[in-house]
Amino acid sequence: MRKFYTLLSREVRSYFYSPIAYIVLVFFLLVSGVDFYFQISFMNQRPVPYSVQEAFFNSVFFWFAFVLIFPLITMRLFAEEFKLGTIEPLMTAPVRDWQVVLSKFFGALVFYIILWVPTAFYFAIFQYTTGRPAAGSIGAYWGSYLMLLLVGMFYLSVGCFASVLTKNQIIAAIISFCAITLLFFLGLVQFILLDVSSATRDLLGYFSALEHMGTFSRGVIDTRPIVLYLSMTVVMLTLTHQAFQSRKWRL
- Residue 249 as a binder of another protein (CB under 8 A): the answer is yes
How far is the C-alpha of 248 from the C-alpha of 156, rounded, in Å? 24
Q: Select from 94, 128, 131, 194 the one that contacts another protein (CB under 8 A).
A: 94
Positive or negative: CA dihedral 92, 94, 97, 100: negative
How far is the C-alpha of 36 from the C-alpha of 44, rounded, in Å? 12
Min dist. Cβ of residue 26 to another protein (A) = 19
Short-list 190, 224, 227, 228, CA closest to 210: 190
Instruction: Report how many residues bind another protein under the rule CB under 8 A.
Output: 23
Are 41 and 139 in contact, with CB atoms under 8 Å apart?
A: no
Which among 2-10, 21-29, 121-129, 134-142 is the span making contact with another protein, rule CB under 8 A?
Answer: 2-10
Q: Classify 130 as helix, strand or coil.
A: helix
Min dist. Cβ of residue 160 to another protein (A) = 19
Which among 11-19, 53-61, 121-129, 130-138 is the span making contact with another protein, rule CB under 8 A?
Answer: 11-19
- Residue 251 as a binder of another protein (CB under 8 A): the answer is yes
Of residues 16 and 64, the one with the C-beta less far from another protein: 16
DSSP tag of 218: T
Where do contacts with another protein occur on this chain (CB under 8 A)?
2-3, 6-7, 10, 14, 17-18, 84-89, 91-96, 248-249, 251
